[in-house]
Amino acid sequence: MCLNKNSFWDFGDSNKDLKKLFVLKNKFFFFFVFILFFLVGLMFHLYQLSLLLTYNFFFMNSCNFSLIFLLDWLSLMFLSVVFLISGCVFLYSLGYMSGDSYVIRFYFLVFMFVCSMFFLIMMPDLMCLILGWDGLGLVSYCLVIYYQSDVSLSSGYLTLFINRLGDLFLILSICWCMNYGCWHYFYLFTFDNLNIYMIFFLILACLTKSAQFPFSSWLPAAMAAPTPVSSLVHSSTLVTAGVYLIIRFSKFLSSDLIFFLINLSLLTVLLSGFGALYENDLSKIIAFSTMGQLSFMIFSIVMGSHYLGFIHLLIHAIFKSLLFLCSGIFISLLMGSQDIRNMGNLGLQSPLISSCFLISLFSSCGVPFYSGFFSKDLIIELVVLSEINFFYLLIFFFSIYLTLVYSFRLFYFLFICKINFMIFNLIDNKYMKVSCLFLLFMSIIFGSCQFWLLDLCYVNVFDEYYKFLIIFFFIYFFIYFNVFTMLNMNLSSFIVYFLSQMWFLPFFSSTFIVSKFFNKSNFLFSLIDLGWTEYLVFTTIYNLIKNLNMHLDSLHLNSLKMYMLSYLMFIFFILMI
């Protein structure tokens, strides 16, 4: 029987039903795990329970090497949302990736991605956590270069390099943590404070994973991956790993680190806001929105509301995944065009998906009473109640203002402008629509359900007049939107060009970091592996070891030589005595 070299990954065109059955089984498994983990997480939160499963490997040098799984309401709730979005992504991929020749390879990579996130969430041990941390970086690289083009390859290199830089910081933190004799969260919590360098390296690793300034250039570049992957990466897996780890170690944040994180998060919010305002690629605009929301979460965590930041992380994962899935359908309708200037009046051409997109966009803006409003509005009120510098408070509100601006700009180009590109690729796939409708239902009720089931108190600082300011903002920008349109098209000013190019971060990252690194690697490869060094150094050492090994073999196979050598060694031993 002759097998094709790709037979392991591809079942063939004659077995399309087998592919659908494979994905549907995974989808039902993910939805079942979502319900199970969500209910168990509610029970753990209600009774304040934590379950620790450990297996000790060995004990060496006062350090305990063990495999640990921690079950508490944080990990269970987060895992429930991860499995929910993964199930919707698998179901969505049945329609979106239907024409791909290697779709089973894609499913296996996504499944490995989810497994890596499972290990990162469940393991409260830095030594074991790096398995999921490295797994996320490696599988994300494989998914970014999935389409095998030059753009995908350069984007994958940038993503891999910055994530490996974060791995280096995490390894340094693990090495420093060995002084405490253990790498577990709960053991480290017994200390009043930890070494500042260890926490600093850990925070740097989290900043690289969450694409905060100055490690932000890889997140828009990762849009080269397929849209289902972008939905999973930007909602609940790769970029949220750093925020989750900051929540776990928020107890050890000193005043200097809090000051450092406040400045970086506000800089990233401004960077993402201006980048989305001057960007015309639909996927990159949503990527900038993700970057700003992550900075919003980190800002709320360092201001003392780490549990509220975690709730916003869960709610954001739901509506941001829906936003990406709807944008993938729009891109497919327009034959792969991602420029928002080619779109227009999509509400008439695809009313159902347009409704899903608008609801997720309203949740991102915090419009009452969608799911994003419940967490975002409470974070704003708690920031107002906290003791914060007025300059930081001004930048914080200006960043929220920018979120509203680029969201309304996206709404204007997609649904108000005239039709600039007639749709010929009509998509009527039930799997894509069902996944979007399910996430639509969750985007509406998930925020209120979280606050109701988790019994979180709600503090009202603003009166009803301030609550409805967002409506007046919409009216204001509807009247003066031509000013922003002219500003967007006129890139002659250096300031506008600087803001539209992410403050030149992609240029420095790709030219002075990644390119220099790979050029140096190519130089060393040419010098050592392809040059005279291979013959002068390594070949000489190899021949020396080879000749020595042949000589030892001859001694071993010749009994007379071995006898004489043993006799001489015995005589030498006697004389020494």
pLDDT value at position 467?
63
Amino acid found at 325: L
pLDDT value at position 544?
76
SS3 state of residue 383? helix
Residues sharing a CB contact under 8 Å with residue 113, sequence separation 6 or more, in sequence order: 135, 136, 139, 140, 143, 229, 232, 237, 238
Amino acid found at 424: F
| pLDDT tens track for 94-103 | 888 777 777 7
Output the six-digit token pair for 244. 């989750």
Kind and range of the H or E run holding 55: strand 51-60
pLDDT value at position 422?
60
| Chain CA centroid to CA 286, Å | 14
How far apart, in whole angstroms, are the C-alpha atoms of residue 450 and residue 42?
10
Low-confidence ranges of the chain (pLDDT < 50): 1-15, 482-483, 486-489, 491
User: What sign has the CA pseudo-torsion 96, 101, 103, 109?
Assistant: negative
Do the beta carbons of residue 219 and residue 239 sit within 8 Å?
Answer: yes
* Partners of 70 in the β-ladder: 52
> What DSSP string describes 420-483?
SS--------HHHHHHHHHHHHHHHHHHHHHHHHTT------S-HHHHTHHHHHHHHHHHSHHH
Taking each helix axis from N to C end, the angle separating 390-411 and 371-385, rounded to the nearest 10 degrees, works out to 160
Amino acid found at 320: K
How far apart, in whole angstroms, are the C-alpha atoms of residue 327 and residue 95?
14
How far apart, in whole angstroms, are the C-alpha atoms of residue 279 and residue 258?
31
SS3 state of residue 19? helix
